[in-house]
Structure formats: structure tokens, C-alpha cells
A and B are shown apart, each in its own frame.
Chain A
Amino acid sequence: MKHVDEYRDGALAKGLARRIAAEARPDRLYRFMEFCGGHTHAISRYGVEDLLPENIRMIHGPGCPVCVLPMGRIDDAIRLARRPEVTLLTYADLMRVPASNGASLMKAKAEGADIRMIYSTLDAIAIAEKEPHREVVFFAIGFETTTPPTALAIRRAQKKQLRNFSIFCNHVLTPAAMQAILETNEGVAIEGFVGPAHVSTVIGMAPYRRFAVDYAKPVVIAGFEPLDVIQAVLMLLRQINEGRSEIENQYRRAVTESGNAKALDEMADIFELRESFEWRGLGEIPNSALRLRENYWEFDAERRFSIVTTPARDNPACECGAILRGAKRPQDCKLFGGACTPETPMGSCMVSSEGSCAAYWAYGRFRQHERRKAS
């Protein structure tokens, strides 16, 4: 496929890796976080870490929307779906995320709740139109990439005067989480970020400036193909070696300085900031999530169904929280690969394909790390 295959060229990857090895100073350690689960997936799938010198470490960030959704919100969605009048619509990767007491949306569906998987918010509008006797609720999750489609669904529902459509809004914001990671007192030393690809097509480059200015951390926005990631690592390495902290754009073929103006306008018109929102693994983060503005409250499922979230405790043996903060790796969790596999996930990081644990498991990277440690 054009604009994809070229960025998976093995010979080029090896050449870039040699360049990185030549420029990496042997007397120091470099720690870079790829925020986005799409990058984590690419790194695991293509073995990017195996091409990097030992003193360049990739720390896997919390940029997987399914993974960071706190269990209490899944509990809310299950309670909502069990109401006889409600049809709950969701993207597929939420179906198997563990909720409290071993529940999940998949199990609730098996028990009779009307829960359906959709591929697009357009499907949600079509279902609400087709079934006017049902209360159709879209379980809206995701970063700035999935927020514009939700905004467009609200816009369309308003235009069509759909009174039986609402959203359970769980949209979250990338820069707020990056800031929380930098301010966490857990001492995860991160010297630079591989910045999100798709998120940045929407928000552009400006929201990352504060990390360069206030925290002296370089950010290189990168595409999702392996050569994109490797080039971003080289760009970060050069910034560190030259004492620079700037926002650079490796993914220039899709990301512009100002982002997608239409999408940003729609989001700003329909959503506003929540004062605070809980993230799995990161806790409460101020100004990190969105809710519907007053003009659109008629589409707010939280208001329509008086949803009040009760915080829920994760399985104490599950290390998803520490993994999402970059403090631990999947293989550091005692459950990983034993009690917790993609078939029997104990934590959210093993469910979504963008989760670190699922990526490590799917591509067997943990075995290579074990072998490297043993040798």
C-alpha cells in the first residue's frame, strides 16, 4: 500500500539503526516514552527495540483509550446497558475489558443486555433512527482522534431531532496526560516523547509546546510505521545530544502546525473541559477530559440516566496502573502470560490491541527480553 510499505523497508531500518548506534553516546542512558498505543504496537510488531542500542530505552505510555478508562466507568456502562429500555453501542475493544466482580460488557450482553458493537458513530445514528422506541446510548471513548466523530454524531442527531439518542462521554485529552506523567512523583525519568500520530493530525503541534518550554522535554510527532518511529528516535537522540528541547514533526505527510481546524471547531462547539477525570493508572487529572456543553445536554446520557460514577478498585495483583505510567513493563507483572492472556484478560492493557501487555504478548517480545536478560 502506498505511503505504508515504503515505511516498512527493512534495509532502511537497519541503516537508520546503525546511524542511531553511531550517534548514541555510550556513557549515558536515553529514555523516551512513546505516548501512543499505536506506536507501542508498531514497536512490538516490528521489533524496533531490538534494533536500538541497549542504552536507548522505550517507555510505553498510556495512549490507549481502552486501557486508561477506569473500571468505575465500565461498571456505569454495564448498569446502563442492563436497563430494559437501553441499547448500548460501543466500539468492539471495550467489550472484554474487565469490570468489577468479574463483569464485562461481553458478559452483560450474554446475560441479555442489549449491547451492540459498531464501527462508526454513523452506525449509532442509523440505529437510533431505525429503532425510535429504544434509548440508544453510544459509549463514547477515545482521545482527540475519536472525539470529532462523536461531535459529528451529536450534530447529526440534533439536525435529525433524534430524541432517543445520547452519549456516555468518556473522551480524554492527550496533552493533559503527558503533563501528568511528567509531574508524577514516581520518578520515571523521561527525556523525550515520541508524540502521537493520529491525535496530532487533529490537534496539530501547538499543544505540545509547553513540554519543550516548561519541562525542557523534546517531542517528536511520528507516524505509526516502523521507519517513522525509528526516525523519531534519531531526531530525539539528536535533540538530547545537542541540548535542544523542541517540538519536531516527523509525520509531516499528515500532521500540520495547526491541525484539523474543522474538527477542532466542532469539538470546541460541542464539548467543554471537565474539571477533573479519573484515568486508570494515573488517577484524577485536572482538565483532562471532555463533557457536553449545556446546549447539548439533551444528548448527555449521564444527565438523562442520572449516572453517578462510583470509583472501583482494580485487581490488586494487576500492574496495569504502573505499566500505564511507564513505571513497569508487562513482563514485570506476575499475572502476565499466566493468569492474564488475551483469552483471559485480568487488566485492560491485555484487552486492547494497543495495550502494552497485548502487544508484548502478541509478538512475543517479552521472550526476547527474557533471553537478553539471561545472556
Chain B
Amino acid sequence: VLHVGYALAKIDEAEALETLELLREAAALGAGS
């Protein structure tokens, strides 16, 4: 994560994939509602 030329944080790949999985699950629940 870059801000005004500096790196503030590094993206955690595993957490990113887990968040996407949660998003897909919630969206799938939405499709059934």
C-alpha cells in the first residue's frame, strides 16, 4: 500500500484470498434471498 511515495503496508496474500472468499459467500447468500 503506497502513499505519497512511501510503502505503508504490504498486502497479505492469504488474507486477501480469504476476504474474497467471504465476499463470494455473502454474495451467493444474496443470490438466494
Q: Which residues of A contact B13 (CB under 8 A)?
A: 253
Contact between A3 and B23 (Cβ–Cβ < 8 Å)? no
Contact between A149 and B31 (Cβ–Cβ < 8 Å)? no
Query: By the criterion of a CB under 8 Å from any partner CB, how many residues of chain B are at the interface?
Result: 26
- The CB with the most chain A CB atoms within 10 A, among B3, B5, B20, is that of B3
Contact between A6 and B30 (Cβ–Cβ < 8 Å)? no
A363 at the interface (CB under 8 A from B): no
Contact among B9, B12, B27, B33 with A12 in the assembled complex (CB-CB below 8 Å): B27
- A149 in contact with B9 given A12-B24, A18-B33 (CB within 8 Å): no
Task: Give min CB distance, A115 to chain B, whole Å.
Answer: 18
Which 5 residue pairs spanning A and B have beta carbons closest together? A15-B27, A120-B5, A19-B30, A18-B30, A22-B33
Q: Mark A19-60, 1 if CB is under 8 A from B, else 0.
A: 111100000000000000000000000000000000000000
Contact between B1 and A149 (Cβ–Cβ < 8 Å)? no
A234 to B22: give the CA distance in the assembly, Å. 12
Q: Which residues of A contact B10 (CB under 8 A)?
A: 254
A126 to B13: give the CA distance in the assembly, Å. 35
A152 at the interface (CB under 8 A from B): yes
Contact among B11, B12, B18, B30 with A15 in the assembled complex (CB-CB below 8 Å): B30
8 Å CB contacts to B: which residues of A241-261? 250, 252-256, 260
Can you report 10 residue pairs joining A to B where beta carbons are below 8 Å apart? A11-B27, A15-B29, A16-B30, A18-B27, A18-B31, A19-B30, A120-B5, A198-B8, A255-B9, A260-B8
A202 at the interface (CB under 8 A from B): yes
A341 at the interface (CB under 8 A from B): no
Contact between A253 and B12 (Cβ–Cβ < 8 Å)? yes
A121 to B1: give the CA distance in the assembly, Å. 17
A170 at the interface (CB under 8 A from B): no
Q: In chain A, what residue has the closest Cβ to B24?
A: A12
Contact among B6, B20, B23 with A16 in the assembled complex (CB-CB below 8 Å): B23
A interface, size bucket: 35 or more
Contact between A119 and B5 (Cβ–Cβ < 8 Å)? yes
A260 to B8: give the CA distance in the assembly, Å. 7
A179 at the interface (CB under 8 A from B): no
Contact between B4 and A17 (Cβ–Cβ < 8 Å)? no
A197 to B28: give the CA distance in the assembly, Å. 26
A6 to B8: give the CA distance in the assembly, Å. 21
- The CB with the most chain B CB atoms within 10 A, among A7, A12, A152, A263, is that of A12
Contact among B8, B18, B27 with A201 in the assembled complex (CB-CB below 8 Å): B8
Q: Which residues of B contact A18 (CB under 8 A)?
A: 27, 30-31, 33
Q: Which residues of B contact A260 (CB under 8 A)?
A: 8-9
A148 to B16: give the CA distance in the assembly, Å. 25
Contact between B19 and A250 (Cβ–Cβ < 8 Å)? yes
A20 to B1: give the CA distance in the assembly, Å. 29
A3 to B23: give the CA distance in the assembly, Å. 13
- A198 in contact with B29 given A12-B24, A253-B16, A263-B8 (CB within 8 Å): no
- The CB with the most chain A CB atoms within 10 A, among B6, B13, B24, B26, is that of B26
- A152 in contact with B11 given A15-B27, A198-B1 (CB within 8 Å): no
A272 to B21: give the CA distance in the assembly, Å. 41
Contact among B5, B19, B24 with A253 in the assembled complex (CB-CB below 8 Å): B19
Contact between A148 and B6 (Cβ–Cβ < 8 Å)? yes
A149 to B4: give the CA distance in the assembly, Å. 8
A145 at the interface (CB under 8 A from B): yes
